[in-house]
């Protein structure tokens, strides 16, 4: 006999669990919900970092934060950012455990592991029929958070699924990264100060930088990141990362405690976004969410806080309006500014480091953080525009208008 639900959430990653959590804490009259996830077990596969926000329900779970951050240019010019809104770190395993625990406490919602959708959903007689490896499930509403294109963590040695042509069509730029959490015998790190971007020599393919998050004097997460027209696999980033770690650890021995990697689309084009929808449902009863539905901010790749905002909104519309909310779209001005910025970087990767350094040194920190966290005012946008080289941006603007 097939099972039937009011709501099925496909994918128990960040968006699926966040929505499950928001529904679970409403208690009372929530729809009968099933959350399906192929994994059998959650591991500490990623760390989420974000600027503190009072609306973030997971702020108190963060294991570390920094009020001082460095941005370092390729010729070692350093900008120190001191902020009243700390940069926080949430470990993946803590988020997974906490959300699963809350979900388990509400009998109206069930998380089932080891189950995946194996065929696109069909709509029959007012119900979505979902074919899984464990049979068919019927549901009135569906929220689909499968990663269609990327944001997948490619392990070292694992080939990337997307062809080059696809990658170029999907997004303006790709943020690819490989990180090691390392532990050194000697106290090498300052846990009060993180390095947001330490740029490597400019080149014509990508803007590359190292990201260092010291958690204790002995332990730090060190990542090598690229913003490029193409995504890079973990294997391709490996030599760069190991070289950077050698420099940072000054040849001292270190142990690798954990690795993480991924490729996130920055500035997904509208065609790719609609193609990323697995089927075009045109209905309020089947919506897409998560990074594959555009949750990552184009100019930064940050998605966690945006997913939380969506999850709160989506739980509200499910309970009050009987339909789920899709991933929220950015305002016109944010979309245009991000697109302009990404295109300028794509066409001038060698200038990327100086652009970022200009942003961090010329815009007041609170303004910049508001802009980066989708909370910018018109004054904040203006400050960002004024901080950047005018000629380059006017040229970019001209190109953008011509290609509309």
Ligand X SMILES: Cc1cc2nc3c(=O)[nH]c(=O)nc-3n(C[C@H](O)[C@H](O)[C@H](O)COP(=O)(O)OP(=O)(O)OC[C@H]3O[C@@H](n4cnc5c(N)ncnc54)[C@H](O)[C@@H]3O)c2cc1C
Which residues would be at the binding site for ligand X (CB under 6 A)?
Answer: 10-16, 36-39, 46-50, 116-117, 145-147, 151, 153, 260, 262, 264, 290-291, 295, 302-304, 307
Residues 6+ apart with CB under 8 A from 141: 6, 7, 8, 31, 128, 285, 286, 318, 322, 323, 324
Minimum CB separation of residue 362 from ligand X in Å reads: 24
Nearer Cβ to ligand X (116/323): 116
Hey, what long-range contacts does 100-104 have (CB within 8 A, 24 or more apart)?
100/17, 100/42, 102/21, 102/24, 102/25, 103/17, 103/20, 103/21, 103/24, 103/35
Task: Name the CA dihedral angle for 268, 272, 274, 277, rounded to a multiple of 10 degrees.
Answer: -100
Minimum CB separation of residue 402 from ligand X in Å reads: 32
Using DSSP's 3-state secondary structure scheme, residue 16 falls into: helix
Nearer Cβ to ligand X (16/208): 16
Minimum CB separation of residue 18 from ligand X in Å reads: 8
Minimum CB separation of residue 264 from ligand X in Å reads: 5
Q: Residue number with the shortest CB distance to ligand X?
A: 13
Minimum CB separation of residue 124 from ligand X in Å reads: 20
Q: Edge-to-edge strands of the sheet including 78-91?
A: 47-51, 78-91, 64-72, 193-199, 206-214, 219-228, 171-184, 254-268
Structure tokens at 154: 């490619």
Nearer Cβ to ligand X (11/208): 11
Minimum CB separation of residue 153 from ligand X in Å reads: 4
Nearer Cβ to ligand X (49/160): 49
- Paired residues of 181 in beta bridges: 221, 258
Minimum CB separation of residue 347 from ligand X in Å reads: 25
Nearer Cβ to ligand X (57/147): 147
CA–CA dist 199, 179 (Å, integer): 15
Nearer Cβ to ligand X (230/264): 264
User: What sign for the dihedral angle of Cα 173, 326, 305, 154?
Assistant: negative
Of 118, 95, 119, 130, the residue nearest 8 (C-alpha): 130
Nearer Cβ to ligand X (25/113): 113
Q: Going by DSSP bridges, is the β-strand pair 64-72/78-91 parallel, antiparallel, or unpaired?
A: antiparallel
Minimum CB separation of residue 290 from ligand X in Å reads: 3
Minimum CB separation of residue 28 from ligand X in Å reads: 26
Minimum CB separation of residue 62 from ligand X in Å reads: 11
CA–CA dist 209, 230 (Å, integer): 16
| Residues 299, 341 contacting (CB under 8 angstroms) | yes
SS3 labels along 83-141 = EEEEEEEEEHHHHHHHHHHHHHCCCCEEEEECCCECCCCEEECCEEEEEECCEEEEEEE
Nearer Cβ to ligand X (231/396): 231
CA–CA dist 374, 226 (Å, integer): 23
């Amino acid at each position: 006999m097939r099972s039937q639900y009011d709501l099925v959430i496909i994918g128990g990653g960040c968006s699926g669990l966040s929505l499950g959590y928001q529904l679970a804490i409403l208690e009372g009259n929530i729809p009968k919900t099933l959350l399906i996830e192929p994994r059998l077990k959650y591991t500490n596969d990623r760390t989420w970092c974000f600027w503190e926000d009072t609306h973030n329900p997971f702020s108190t779970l963060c294991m570390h934060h920094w009020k001082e951050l460095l941005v370092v240019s390729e010729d070692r010019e350093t900008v120190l950012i001191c902020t009243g809104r700390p940069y926080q770190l949430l470990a993946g395993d803590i988020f997974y455990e906490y959300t699963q625990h809350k979900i388990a406490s509400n009998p109206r919602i069930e998380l089932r592991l080891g189950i995946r959708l194996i065929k696109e959903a069909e709509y029959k007689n007012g119900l979505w029929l979902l074919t899984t490896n464990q049979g068919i499930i019927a549901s009135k509403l569906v929220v689909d958070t499968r990663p269609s294109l990327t944001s997948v963590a490619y392990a070292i040695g694992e080939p990337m699924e997307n062809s080059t042509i696809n990658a170029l069509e999907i997004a303006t730029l790709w943020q690819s990264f490989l990180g090691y959490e390392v532990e050194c015998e000697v106290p090498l790190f300052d846990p009060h100060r993180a390095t947001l971007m330490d740029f490597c020599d400019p080149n014509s393919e990508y803007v590359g930088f190292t990201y260092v998050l010291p958690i204790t004097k002995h332990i730090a997460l060190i990542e090598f990141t690229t913003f490029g027209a193409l995504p890079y696999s973990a294997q391709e980033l490996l030599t760069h990362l190991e070289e950077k770690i050698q420099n940072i650890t000054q040849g001292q021995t270190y142990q690798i405690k954990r690795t993480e990697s991924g490729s996130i689309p920055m500035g997904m084009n509208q065609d790719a976004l609609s193609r990323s929808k697995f089927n075009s449902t045109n209905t309020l009863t089947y919506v897409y969410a998560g990074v594959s539905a555009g949750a990552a901010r184009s100019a930064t790749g940050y998605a966690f806080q945006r997913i939380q905002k969506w999850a709160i909104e989506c739980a509200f519309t499910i309970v009050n309006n009987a339909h789920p909310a899709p991933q929220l779209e950015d305002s016109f001005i944010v979309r245009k500014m991000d697109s302009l910025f990404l295109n300028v970087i794509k066409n001038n990767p060698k200038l990327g480091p100086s652009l970022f350094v200009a942003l961090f040194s010329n815009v007041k920190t609170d303004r910049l953080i508001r802009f980066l966290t989708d909370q910018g005012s018109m004054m904040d946008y203006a400050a960002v525009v004024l901080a950047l080289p005018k000629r380059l941006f006017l040229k970019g603007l001209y190109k953008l208008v011509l290609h509309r």
